[in-house]
Amino acid sequence: MPGQAINATLDLEGLEVIGVVAFGDLIELVVESRFDAGACRSCGGLAPEPKERPEVLVRDLAISGRPVVLRWRKRRWRCTYCHSSWTEAHPQIPPRARMTLRFKAQLASQAAAQGNFSQVAAQEAVSYDTVARAHKARADLVRQRRSRPAPKWSSPDSADTVDYAASSVVTSSCAHLLSY
């Protein structure tokens, strides 16, 4: 399978595919980051040097119906000034996560749409529990947003003060979360 075609579909900002390995039906993409280390989190020093490359395996969206695992060769940085070290992170891959956030969101959407967790688990080659956890995480998030106090509306001559700007912000952010 040409690496270029897969690279085009990975679409995870800052990560580049450097190798593709197929294990039967499974596709493993070896990825490395291309973003800057940034400043040291302890002293703000701007000259960290790479120290190690710990690898993590995370599930990601299927390609042409085939399950995909990312083998991310993360960089571990060491500050040249204060010698503290840290491992890089990616917004789609929380620390210790075993799947990308977009894959988890997709499992939750499919579980909600199909209502059959076993079927989604089989389709995506994950366990039933993984689907159930993704579904619960999304349901919890939606519930959390819904249980926020509703914006308080009142007539202009009411003694209550109403922060219209803040209310509209809350409303639009809820709409955004519920629409995915």
Check binding of 40 to Zn ion (CB under 5 A): yes
DSSP at 159: S
Name which of residues 72 to 111 contact Zn ion (CB under 5 A).
79, 81-82
| Least distance from Zn ion to the Cβ atom of residue 42, Å | 5
Check binding of 120 to Zn ion (CB under 5 A): no
Among 18, 22, 39, 43, binds Zn ion (CB under 5 A): 43
Closer to Zn ion at the Cβ: 48 or 67? 48
CA pair distance 158, 175, nearest whole angstrom: 28
| Least distance from Zn ion to the Cβ atom of residue 82, Å | 3
Choose one: 10-18, 44-52, 90-98, 126-134; the region binding Zn ion (CB under 5 A).
44-52
Among 14, 45, 94, 151, binds Zn ion (CB under 5 A): 45
CA 108 vs CA 56, 94, 117, 125, 131: distances in Å: 23, 17, 9, 14, 7
Sheet holding 49-52, edge to edge: 49-52, 76-78, 85-87
Return the closest-CA partner of residue 109 out of 134, 144, 140, 145: 134
β-bridge partners, 28:
21, 69
CA pair distance 91, 60, nearest whole angstrom: 14
Choose one: 2-10, 30-38, 39-47, 91-99; the region binding Zn ion (CB under 5 A).
39-47
Applying CB under 5 A, the residues found at the interface with Zn ion are 40, 42-43, 45, 79, 81-82
